């Protein structure tokens, strides 16, 4: 009986240590991997119909941080603030672009 308890305790201890080692490896990933993942944008200029940000005039090829859909089209913006500005009066921005 005593051997069973010792064996069971050893197995539980081994599994607990193994799990913590894997978690530490994930949490301590190299800095270059983390920064490259942060800099990778999920939006590309090919995904949107506009070539420039309506609010500030910045080219979307420089980077898109947010998008919105208006009248079944996707528009890209350099920031959340520019997107919010466009959403206040989208028709005004689209009319000025034509």
pLDDT digits (tens, 9 = 90+) for 33-54: 444 445 455 889 999 999 999 9
Alpha-carbon distance of 39 to 82, in angstroms, equals: 19
Contact in structure between 26 and 53 (CB atoms under 8 Å): no
| Residue 70 falls in which region: left (phi positive, over 0), alpha (psi -120 to 50) or beta | beta
Give, as one character, the DSSP assignment of residue 56: T
> Does residue 20 carry a pLDDT above 90?
no
Q: What is the pLDDT of residues 44-90, one digit of tens each?
A: 999 999 999 999 999 999 999 999 999 999 999 999 999 999 999 99
- How many residues in the chain? 98
């Amino acid at each position: 009986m005593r051997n069973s308890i010792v064996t069971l305790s050893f197995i539980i201890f081994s599994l607990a240590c193994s799990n913590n080692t894997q978690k530490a490896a994930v949490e301590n990933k190299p800095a270059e991997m983390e920064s490259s993942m942060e800099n990778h944008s999920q939006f590309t200029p090919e995904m949107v119909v506009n070539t420039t940000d309506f609010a500030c005039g910045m080219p979307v090829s420089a980077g898109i941080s947010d998008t919105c859909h208006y009248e079944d089209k996707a528009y890209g913006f350099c920031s959340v603030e520019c997107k919010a500005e466009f959403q206040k009066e989208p028709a005004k921005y689209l009319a000025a672009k034509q």
